[in-house]
Amino acid sequence: MKRTIGFLGISLAVVFFLALAFRPMTASGSGKYLEGNPELPDSVAKVIQKACLDCHGEDGNGMAKSHVNFGKWNTYDAKKQAGKAVDISKELSKAAMPPGKWRKNNPDNIPTQAEVDLIKNWAKALNK
């Protein structure tokens, strides 16, 4: 009997730790994590997450959020998402976003040319 209880305890502990290890990191809607969002391809979400969310996420900057708020992306209808995607790809192409000061402070997170192209293609596909 004792052994069964011990075994049960261990099993429960294992299940508990597994659950912790695999809990979803994508608190969708929080605006902090975009990967795993069904309305954004993961490759796109990754770029936005590293380079845009500081200002365009729920905890971001009011001015930035008034243009694009990725924490509310899923509440935008398809037409609005497509339009915003074009704005986003334009800003990236001009290297106007992320802003210069942010680039200086976050040199490792500046989107690469390949990432800019990826966003441009995504925007194009949404507007077909």
Q: How many Å apart are CA 109 and CA 119, to the nearest integer?
A: 15
Among 44, 45, 88, 118, binds ligand HEC (CB under 6 A): 88
User: Exposed (0-12), middle (13-18) or buried (19+): which is 29, by Cβ within 10 Å?
Assistant: middle
Among 98, 118, 122, 123, binds ligand HEC (CB under 6 A): 98
CA distances (Å), 117 to each of 48, 83, 128, in order?
A: 13, 17, 17
Q: How far is the CB of 84 from ligand HEC (least distance, A)?
A: 7
Q: How many Å apart are CA 114 and CA 92, to the nearest integer?
A: 11
Which residues are within 8 A (CB) of 3 and not within 5 positions of it... i.e. 6 or more apart? Answer: none
Residue 121 as a binder of ligand HEC (CB under 6 A): the answer is: no
Strand, helix or coil for residue 87: helix
Among 45, 52, 118, 123, binds ligand HEC (CB under 6 A): 52
Q: How many Å apart are CA 34 and CA 48, to the nearest integer?
A: 8
Residues 11 to 50: which contact ligand HEC by CB under 6 A?
Answer: none
Residue 85 as a binder of ligand HEC (CB under 6 A): the answer is: no
Question: How many residues of this chain bind ligand HEC (CB under 6 A)?
Answer: 19
Q: Which stretch binds ligand HEC (CB under 6 A): 5-13, 19-27, 32-40, 85-93?
A: 85-93
Contacts to ligand HEC by CB under 6 A: 51-52, 54-56, 61, 63-64, 67-68, 87-88, 91-92, 97-99, 102, 111
